[in-house]
Structure 1
Amino acid sequence: SAWKLGYTGKGRIICSFDTGVDGAHRALNRSWKGNDGDSAAAWYDPLFHQTLPHPLNGTVSNNAHGTWTMGVMVGADSVSGDTTGVAPDAQWISAGVVDLPGASLLSAFEWAVDPDGDPNTLADVPDVINNSWGFTGRSCVDIFYTAVQNAEALGIVNIFAAGNEGSAPSSVRNPADGAFAIDDSLNLFSVGNVMETSDTISGSSSRGPSPCFGAIKPNVAAPGTGVRTTAPGNLFTFASGTSLAAPYVSGLVALLRQKNPNATVDQIKQALLASGRPLGYTAVPNNDIGWGLIDCVDALNALSAVNSVPNVKIYDFTHAPILPGDTVTGTIVLQNLGAPVSNVQLNITGSQPSLTVIDGLAVFGA
């Protein structure tokens, strides 16, 4: 239904951190961004330094994992027209760093925020990073939290698989468990696995709440059982797990960014939450399916085509009550994590008629 509305991911870029991708697969080769001649900005291979994407054998997972996940996001057979991807017209880039000793996931984040190595260009920056990986036995370890937040400050949405550790409470993997307050589970957006044949959450899908402040996890759920997708060697297969559910959401992010290229990370996440269907649950959100099973069209309808709110977050603000006659002053610090800008204007207005803003205009980088 979203495709019939014209939303296919055209003009958007999807990134994955995984076990490599069969870049020669006929359902994936057409959409690899490296076809523009800059392979280094489309394939990060810190171990083998090859210029073309290829599957990698991990210590635990098989070399098909990264090809599976990419097929769910962008798979479209240029010969037969067979489409497995949510965003078949999006381009993709990838880092072969998952389950590979000696390959750094943190270095992949550093690459993904500026794939072409030029901080003055933005056309190379992906709209979303799919993270179908995670760790057990290290709840709330924050080694990746800052990297994700830095990427999202640049406008790159990060989607995480919740994990396949089963229905025990707080079984969600790290870093998908990331949340810094009980009412702020948007920090690291995680996805559970719904079985489409029965519209129920899979018994293997990891549950919340997050061990970090008790926030609700997963954030949403998506189809992740018996998913048809691409496999190395121009093959197609069926695969299951939250590793397949997360790419559904990442593909949907590309559709949302096609509708509104300037949509902020928070606006996109709110649209995803708004699309959630409760299935058989009497109340959502909950720690089985989060805000519910995503719906592409509902998410698109929930996202405005134009922005009305700037991509600015207030990280800390505390102040005692303002008494009659008081004059309050404060300091505002802006940090630019993207391309150089100038003449940034900040205008402060008061929401109470009894307050008068004496000087509420500031210009940065004039």
Structure 2
Amino acid sequence: MRLAKWFAPAGKRPYYRGATSARRSKQTRCFDIEALEPRALLATTASTGMPLLVKLDTLSPASLTAWLADKGVEVSSTGLPQVMAVSGPDSTLTGMASWLGGTSGLGYVERESTLTIDQASNDPSYMSGSMWGLSGAKGINAASAWDVTTGSTSVVVADIDTGADYNHPDLYENIWINNAEIPASRLKNLKDVDGDGRITFYDLNYAAPDGTRPNQGAGRITDINGDGRIDASDILAPMQKNPDGSDSGLGGWADGVSQDGDTAHVDDLVGWNFLNNTNNPFDDNGHGTHTAGTIGAMGSNGVGVTGVNWKVQIMPLKFLDARLGGTSTAAAKALLYASDHGAKVSNNSYGGSGGITLQNAIAYAASKGSIFVAAAGNSGANTDTTPFYPAAYSNDNIISVAAISSSGARASYSNYGATTVDIGAPGDGILSTYPNSRYATLSGTSMAAPHVTGTVALLLAAHPTWTYSQVIKQVLSTATPNSSLAGKTVTGGILNAGAALSSGSAGATASPSASCSFVGTNTIAQGNWAGAFGSDGRAIARVSPAYPSYATVGVLGSSLWTWAGPTTDPRALSTTGTTPDSRIASCWYNGTSFTIDVNITDGKSHPASLYLVDWDSTSRSEKVQVVDAASGAVLDTRTTSSFHSGTYLTWNLSGHVRFVVSRIGGDNAVVSGLFFG
């Protein structure tokens, strides 16, 4: 979890009118999945005909469709909340992007992004040699971690990739089963053999000492594909029904009926395929099977390799096709699915240029307490200056991972960044599972990320009540210092799973590491902050920030909005605090809530003020909570309403805190400025 940088570029045009966004229209981007071997990053190019993604605010889907009816385009749902796709000729969409965002009732408008990978020349090697990433001198010290725990079936890990070979002899028992989707006619006959509170493939394959298998047979499940075990192919097989439509007790569990009420994902028994919108996330490439094996190939089973977790529930979510092509919309939908279905960590070995659709999905995952582990990229670039997304987003639930080789040095192809890449992990020459009962040695930050994902899963198994902030802190604070990563990553170190699991509860400190005391409100100064606020530094929405040396700031999960700029209205913030000065009526906002991350790094207490002004009405109300970033403890809560004339809220702060700004009444939660001193 790096100290997030302010995400508020100034001077970008056009600004959008409408209550939920002021993001500028973006040209089509090209993303990369992390290479299977070191290679150059694909260049960013325009993708012909990729649709516009339009976030609705007050405008309805029907109204948008009617308004664009004569424009030669087609409007359809993306499956993401309030996000519509506008498809048509590329030239039409290019011209439409700028003025569509100026429509009242709409939020952001951006071009759909493509996610892809360029295949490297890499003939996979089969099982041979040692797994240096787990046990080598420069590995993650997995053996010490396993002294604490080897994993748990209570932990669900989403692998957002090309899917997985869920029948692999080294993976099949660690594939997630969506218990809420098991048909009632079968569930009533199944036994939770190991008492973990769920039906897993361990239960379905259990053999009693007398040789009986209590979860196999008519009315339960049988080995339909004939491979000698119960795996995902068996339960995904169609249920055989009687003439009256009732369950005959034969066949699989796919009955065409949503058991859990999620009608968008019927029979999602082991995950989902977001390419074809089916319940079959089988891997037709190999990339996803490889990352899955590093996270959780079955351990101590006498077969092949072992993962960081010996036991875990891997949820394969396929959004990339056999040629490794996919979209940011599909990735976002997969992440929302994972967050809604209990995954507390996701592995994301892909990336490229940015977009608000995927970033919003990552923020949603954070709201569900889920950690987003991302590959840092393979172009050997400094992502502080050349961002690689999603790893370089400022969301505080992201862990960005660089690759190291068996010598302990950063791999030459691995991206780095003192503020945008968090930690290094083994990524070069990594042996793991591969489709069709095979094993392969692959390289890249794609292979480094699942080592971190697996370690996060071990921590969640050992400390199920920890928040995502606590888990991330534990991973990063126990990294082994490494000279090749010093000044190149936030931690300057390599993942040490053994230290993370055995070093006590560094991530779960009971006492807050930050403090705050509320000073008071000011409704007199309005936009005239100079002399009253900001003597040390400030950040104003849509204006380049000027931070004090003791503070690092980031805005997470918000959009930018400009009502008027320049303006003479005294409620608008002056941009420099001098006289005379231009003023701007702008804000960060979100329809539900967003976060301003503030880290006071000098060990002292300093005044910090938020400026709230409502330009739309006199009825807006919102809540501001000050939260300890490490422990998640709420240090202070303020509720403000009818701040049409402008209100400053001031606290004395020390340490690392987050302002969580939540809408109570009115259209959006808003903040126009942050001031220090």
TM-score by length of 2: 0.40
Secondary structure, counterpart of 1:2 in structure 2: helix
Quote the Cα distance in structure 2 between the aligned partners of 1:151 and 1:290: 24
1:261 aligns with 2:495: no
149, 174, 184: which one aligns with 1:31? 174
289, 311, 317: which one aligns with 1:95? 317
Aligned pairs (5 A) from 1:293-304: 293-300=494-501, 301=503, 303=505
Matched with 2:644 is none
Quote the Cα distance in structure 2 between the aligned partners of 1:316 and 1:296: 27
Matched with 1:159 is 373
Residue 33 of structure 1 and its aligned partner are, at CA, apart by 1.4
Matched with 2:147 is 4
Deviates more, 1:78-87 or 1:11-20: 78-87
Using a 3 Å threshold, how does the CA distance of structure 1 residues 346 and 143 change in structure 2: closer, same or farther?
closer
Residue 204 of structure 1 and its aligned partner are, at CA, apart by 0.4
Quote the Cα distance in structure 1 between the aligned partners of 2:334 and 2:356: 16
179, 183, 189: which one aligns with 2:399? 189
The amino acid of 1:54's aligned partner reads F
Deviates more, 1:156-165 or 1:90-99: 90-99
The amino acid of 2:344's aligned partner reads D
Determine if contact 1:84/1:230 at 8 Å carries over to the other structure: no
Quote the Cα distance in structure 1 between the aligned partners of 2:465 and 2:445: 28
Determine if contact 2:480/2:493 at 8 Å carries over to the other structure: yes
Matched with 1:65 is 287
Quote the Cα distance in structure 2 between the aligned partners of 1:93 and 1:195: 28
For structure 1, the residue ranges without an aligned partner over 5 or more in a row are 57-62, 116-124, 181-185, 210-215, 321-329, 335-344, 353-363
Residue 76 of structure 1 and its aligned partner are, at CA, apart by 1.7
Determine if contact 2:332/2:361 at 8 Å carries over to the other structure: yes
Secondary structure, counterpart of 2:311 in structure 1: coil
609, 625, 639: which one aligns with 1:319? 609
Using a 3 Å threshold, how does the CA distance of structure 1 residues 314 and 164 change in structure 2: closer, same or farther?
closer
Matched with 1:179 is 394
Using a 3 Å threshold, how does the CA distance of structure 1 residues 195 and 302 change in structure 2: closer, same or farther?
farther
Residue 105 of structure 1 and its aligned partner are, at CA, apart by 1.3
Matched with 1:227 is 430
For structure 2, the residue ranges without an aligned partner over 5 or more in a row are 1-143, 183-266, 513-593, 599-607, 611-620, 626-632, 638-650, 653-663, 665-677
Quote the Cα distance in structure 2 between the aligned partners of 1:250 and 1:309: 27
Structure with bigger strand share is 2
Deviates more, 1:232-241 or 1:298-307: 298-307
CA displacement 1:217-249 (0-9 Å, x = unmatched)? 310010001111000001111111000000000
Determine if contact 1:268/1:303 at 8 Å carries over to the other structure: no
Quote the Cα distance in structure 2 between the aligned partners of 1:53 and 1:141: 25
1:48 aligns with 2:276: yes
Aligned pairs (5 A) from 1:135-154: 135=352, 138=353, 140-154=354-368
153, 159, 177: which one aligns with 1:16? 159
The amino acid of 2:398's aligned partner reads L
Secondary structure, counterpart of 2:157 in structure 1: strand
Using a 3 Å threshold, how does the CA distance of structure 1 residues 45 and 292 change in structure 2: closer, same or farther?
same
Using a 3 Å threshold, how does the CA distance of structure 1 residues 26 and 309 change in structure 2: closer, same or farther?
farther
Residue 178 of structure 1 and its aligned partner are, at CA, apart by 1.0
Secondary structure, counterpart of 2:425 in structure 1: strand
Using a 3 Å threshold, how does the CA distance of structure 1 residues 177 and 271 change in structure 2: closer, same or farther?
same
Quote the Cα distance in structure 2 between the aligned partners of 1:142 and 1:309: 35
Residue 83 of structure 1 and its aligned partner are, at CA, apart by 3.5
Secondary structure, counterpart of 2:315 in structure 1: strand
Quote the Cα distance in structure 2 between the aligned partners of 1:106 and 1:289: 26
Deviates more, 1:16-25 or 1:38-47: 38-47
Quote the Cα distance in structure 2 between the aligned partners of 1:29 and 1:35: 14
Secondary structure, counterpart of 1:332 in structure 2: strand
Residue 306 of structure 1 and its aligned partner are, at CA, apart by 5.9
Quote the Cα distance in structure 2 between the aligned partners of 1:236 and 1:22: 12
276, 279, 291: which one aligns with 2:479? 276
The amino acid of 1:176's aligned partner reads A
Determine if contact 1:274/1:298 at 8 Å carries over to the other structure: no
Quote the Cα distance in structure 1 between the aligned partners of 2:274 and 2:508: 38
Residue 144 of structure 1 and its aligned partner are, at CA, apart by 1.7
Residue 24 of structure 1 and its aligned partner are, at CA, apart by 0.7
Matched with 1:359 is none
Secondary structure, counterpart of 2:151 in structure 1: coil
Residue 289 of structure 1 and its aligned partner are, at CA, apart by 7.2
CA displacement 1:262-307 (0-9 Å, x = unmatched)? 21111111111111122225x84x2257431010122122535867
Deviates more, 1:224-233 or 1:266-275: 266-275
Determine if contact 1:13/1:93 at 8 Å carries over to the other structure: yes
Determine if contact 2:286/2:434 at 8 Å carries over to the other structure: yes
Quote the Cα distance in structure 1 between the aligned partners of 2:466 and 2:390: 24
1:105 aligns with 2:331: yes
Determine if contact 1:134/1:161 at 8 Å carries over to the other structure: yes
Secondary structure, counterpart of 1:144 in structure 2: helix
Q: Percent identity?
A: 26
Determine if contact 2:366/2:397 at 8 Å carries over to the other structure: no
Determine if contact 1:160/1:191 at 8 Å carries over to the other structure: yes
Using a 3 Å threshold, how does the CA distance of structure 1 residues 291 and 264 change in structure 2: closer, same or farther?
farther
Quote the Cα distance in structure 1 between the aligned partners of 2:445 and 2:312: 22
The amino acid of 1:303's aligned partner reads S
Residue 34 of structure 1 and its aligned partner are, at CA, apart by 2.2
Matched with 2:510 is 308
Q: How many residues in Structure 1 have an aligned counterpart in Structure 2? A: 300
Residue 160 of structure 1 and its aligned partner are, at CA, apart by 0.2
| Rg larger for | 2
Quote the Cα distance in structure 2 between the aligned partners of 1:347 and 1:175: 30
Matched with 1:199 is 408
Residue 41 of structure 1 and its aligned partner are, at CA, apart by 5.2
CA displacement 1:300-351 (0-9 Å, x = unmatched)? 22535867379xx96489439xxxxxxxxx96357xxxxxxxxxx98859x9
